[in-house]
């Protein structure tokens, strides 16, 4: 589960979610994925593990799943 790998601490990166034990923000990992980098490539680039990258994806999926979309006509 992502909770074991993603941390939020107001003293680290202004409270942005990061990979625990690092200062690598989740949004940087997601942006790298969106930019076409592979999971292994991202892990190597930022000094994390494959499981950290997957946890970032899971974290983002949980956030999006909770969003409510309101349509105004």
Q: Look at residue 51 in the predicted model and tell me its pLDDT.
A: 97
d(CA 71, CA 62) in angstroms, rounded, equals 21
CB atoms within 10 A of CB 57: 15
Q: Hey, CA dihedral for 70, 29, 60, 20, is it positive or negative? A: negative
pTM score? 0.87
Tens of pLDDT, residue by residue over 18-72, are 999 999 999 999 999 999 999 999 999 999 999 999 999 999 999 999 988 889 9
Q: Look at residue 1 in the predicted model and tell me its pLDDT.
A: 82
Domain that holds residue 50: 2-65
**If pLDDT is split at 50, 70 and 90, which confidence band does 73 have?**
confident
Mean pLDDT of 2-31: 95
Return the structure tokens found at 38: 């592979």
Number of domains the chain contains: 1
CATH number of the domain at 49, please: 1.10.10.10
- Does residue 73 lie in a domain region? no
């Amino acid at each position: 589960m992502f909770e074991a790998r993603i941390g939020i601490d107001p003293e680290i990166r202004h409270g942005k979610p990061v990979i625990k034990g690092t200062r690598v923000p989740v949004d940087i990992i997601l942006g790298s994925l969106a930019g076409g980098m592979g999971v292994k490539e991202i892990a190597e680039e930022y000094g994390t593990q494959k499981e950290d990258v997957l946890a970032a994806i899971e974290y983002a999926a949980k956030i999006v799943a909770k969003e409510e979309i309101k349509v105004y006509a």
